[in-house]
């Protein structure tokens, strides 16, 4: 495949897949299963190459690359393979007795031509995970990897044609020009993961073709620490979730709201675990990644003053290596770091007097993609679940809710629309066709004109049999 296709190349690929789909490509259980097994084989046979690309793009260590990218994807493939026959089954549903003789069922059908656009922070997994659902549902797919994670994009564009016919899965590399060309085409579904600004563009372009979209965006995911806690374990789990992938995770805890009396001890525990995880100089740690590029590094630097009172810990920058150390800030609700999603290794911590003040601070922001609470008090936990609207939620840990394929993953409002993983992925890329069939040996005359004198009868029939 050409590394940078022009508009004609993209149109040709789209036409090729459209023709293949209309001819029945990837419809049967055997074909879908075969393509999922091909994706599994692609990962297993080329894992070292994929991990090397992730290291080059993000400084991602092998362990993080495996658990969050390659193994994560393999486990989702295995889950889908185990459930695929069940997913594809027609489902019989109850029919109104008034329509007797009658049967009703729901039949899942593939949507057709799918476009998947992935971001740069998990450039392999966030492209392949939705691909699993799209293939399982029987679609044909064009993948658009992020040009920002250049090495991973190149590996994907080289590997996919070796394991898939282009009629089923094609790859388009490139930047804005190629993305715009893709968005102009009449796909049957567009799946986009990224920021809200581009998400609005994707939705606007899709609307021109009446194309449905799934938008996986982000937001300022809050973390509330309240009540009687094991602050040592809280700090350990939070430090892991926040600084995983150098904080470049859409569901990373974005800021902390903590009771005033817990603040000093929590900060000390947090410092302890940052040093335990990454050493006294995280720049030398093989387990700590880098910022994706200099533009994002500059953005992150703008959130704090290196000589200011707000900097509690870290704040070290090496522009040559796109490095920013794990950083802790003393913040308030109006701090620069609280204006937008951070998407990096900076953790603002805000002290609050009570739980109501914490909830008030959370509500200042649009609905987040994730929300976290650490507490042993069920009253706080239940209120948090009830009163904080978010895409997903995790209690007494961070990030790990994504590992359950039985939990749909997605946002709401500014953090996205639609969801996926497990059966929800299959549903996202399927149309659930409703079908009713009726026998011919009985036909009630009350439904036909003339209607005079039939209203009371139809009311009785509907109340009895409807």
Catalytically annotated residue among 18, 173, 211, 250:
250
Torsion sign over Cα 376, 377, 378, 381? negative
Alpha-carbon distance 242 to 227, whole Å? 21
- Angle (CA) 243 246 247, round 5°: 60
Which one-letter DSSP state was computed for residue 147?
Answer: S
pLDDT digits (tens, 9 = 90+) for 269-308: 999 999 999 999 999 999 999 999 999 999 999 999 987 7
Would you state the pLDDT for residue 6? 65
Tokens at 111, concatenated: 């949507």
Q: Which one, of 341, 340, 332, 363, lies nearest residue 263 by Cα?
A: 332
First to last CA, the chain: 57
**pTM (2 d.p.):** 0.95
272/275 Cα distance (integer angstroms): 5
Q: Please count the other Cβ atoms lying within 10 Å of the Cβ belonging to residue 185.
A: 19
Exposure on the CB side of residue 227, measured as CA atoms within 13 A: 14
- The burial of 131, by beta-carbon neighbours within 10 Å (0-12 exposed, 13-18 middle, 19 or more buried), is given as buried
Low pLDDT (below 70) residues in the chain? 1-6, 466
* Angle in degrees, 0-180, between the axes of helices 29-58 and 71-88, rounded to the nearest 10: 160
Judge contact between 365 and 219, C-beta under 8 A.
yes
User: Which strand (E) or helix (H) includes residue 394?
Assistant: strand 392-395
Give the pLDDT confidence of 424-466 residue by residue, as tens digits: 999 999 999 999 999 999 988 888 999 999 999 989 888 888 6
Phi and psi, residue 428, nearest 5°? -60, -40
> Which pLDDT value is given to residue 2?
41
CATH of 7-217+416-431, one of 3.40.605.10, 3.20.20.70, 3.40.50.1240, 2.30.110.10: 3.40.605.10
**Tell me, what's the pLDDT at 3?**
42
What's the sign of the alpha-carbon dihedral 178, 179, 180, 183? positive
Could you name the CATH architecture of 222-410? Answer: 3-Layer(aba) Sandwich (3.40)
Angle of CA points 162, 164, 169, to nearest 5°: 125
Q: In whole angstroms, how large is the CA radius of gyration of the chain?
A: 26
How far is the CA of 145 from the CAs of 152, 193, 207, 428, in angstroms?
Answer: 8, 10, 22, 20
State the pLDDT at residue 466.
Answer: 67
Beta bridge partners of residue 73, listed in sequence order: none
Is there a contact between 259 and 131 (Cβ–Cβ < 8 Å)?
A: no
| SS percent in the chain: helix, strand, coil, step 5 | 45, 20, 35
Q: How far apart are CA 395 and CA 346, in angstroms?
A: 21
Predicted local confidence at residue 306, as pLDDT: 85
Instruction: Respond yes or no: is residue 250 known to be catalytic.
Output: yes
Is-contact 446 461, C-beta < 8 A? yes
Tokens of 128: 């392949």
pLDDT of residue 103: 94
Q: Which of 18, 25, 216, 301 is catalytic?
A: 216
Q: Report which of 144, 5, 124, 130 is spatially closest to residue 53, judged by C-alpha positions.
A: 124
Q: Are 84 and 412 in contact (CB under 8 A)?
A: no
Enumerate the domain spans of the chain: 7-217+416-431, 222-410
Q: Is the peptide bond before 450 cis (omega within 30 degrees of 0)?
A: yes
């Amino acid at each position: 495949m050409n590394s940078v296709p022009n508009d004609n190349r993209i149109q040709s690929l789209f036409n090729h897949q459209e023709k293949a789909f209309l001819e029945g490509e990837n419809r049967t259980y055997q074909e879908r299963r075969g393509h999922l097994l091909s994706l599994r084989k692609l990962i297993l046979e080329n894992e070292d190459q994929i991990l090397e690309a992730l290291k080059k793009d993000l400084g991602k260590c092998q362990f993080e690359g495996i658990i969050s990218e390659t193994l994560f994807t393999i486990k989702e493939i295995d889950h889908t393979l185990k459930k695929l026959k069940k997913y594809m089954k027609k489902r019989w549903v109850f029919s109104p007795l008034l329509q007797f003789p009658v049967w009703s069922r729901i039949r899942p059908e593939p949507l057709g031509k799918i476009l998947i656009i992935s971001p740069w922070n998990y450039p392999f997994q966030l492209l392949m995970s939705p691909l699993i659902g799209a293939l399982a549902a029987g679609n044909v797919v064009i993948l658009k990897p992020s040009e920002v994670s250049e090495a991973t994009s190149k590996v994907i564009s080289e590997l996919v044609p070796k394991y898939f016919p282009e009629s089923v899965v094609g790859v388009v590399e490139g930047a804005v020009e190629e993305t715009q060309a893709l968005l102009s085409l009449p796909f049957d579904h567009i799946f986009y993961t990224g920021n809200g600004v581009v998400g609005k563009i994707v939705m606007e372009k899709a609307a021109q073709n009446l194309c449905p979209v799934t938008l996986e965006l982000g937001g300022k995911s809050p973390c509330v620490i309240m009540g009687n806690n094991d602050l040592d374990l809280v700090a350990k789990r939070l430090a892991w979730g926040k600084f995983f992938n150098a904080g470049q995770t859409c569901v990373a805890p974005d800021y902390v709201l903590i009771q005033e009396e817990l603040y000093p001890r929590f900060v000390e525990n947090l410092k302890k675990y940052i040093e335990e995880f990454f050493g006294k100089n995280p720049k030398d740690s093989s387990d700590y990644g880098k910022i994706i590029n200099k533009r994002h590094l500059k953005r992150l630097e703008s959130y704090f003053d290196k000589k200011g009172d707000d900097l509690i810990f870290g704040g070290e920058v090496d522009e040559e290596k796109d490095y920013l150390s794990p950083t802790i800030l003393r913040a308030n609700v109006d701090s620069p770091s609280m204006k937008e999603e951070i998407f990096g290794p900076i953790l603002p911590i805000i002290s609050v007097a009570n739980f109501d003040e914490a909830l008030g601070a959370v509500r200042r922001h649009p609905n987040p993609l994730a929300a976290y609470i650490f507490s042993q008090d069920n009253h706080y936990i239940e209120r948090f679940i009830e009163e904080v609207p978010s895409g997903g939620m995790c209690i007494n840990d961070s990030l790990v809710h994504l590992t359950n394929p039985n939990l749909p993953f997605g946002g709401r409002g500014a953090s996205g629309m639609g969801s996926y993983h497990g059966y929800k992925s299959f549903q996202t890329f399927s149309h659930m066709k409703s079908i009713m069939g009726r026998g011919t040996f009985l036909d009630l005359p009350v439904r036909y004109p003339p209607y005079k004198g039939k209203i009371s009868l139809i009311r009785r029939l509907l109340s009895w049999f409807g």
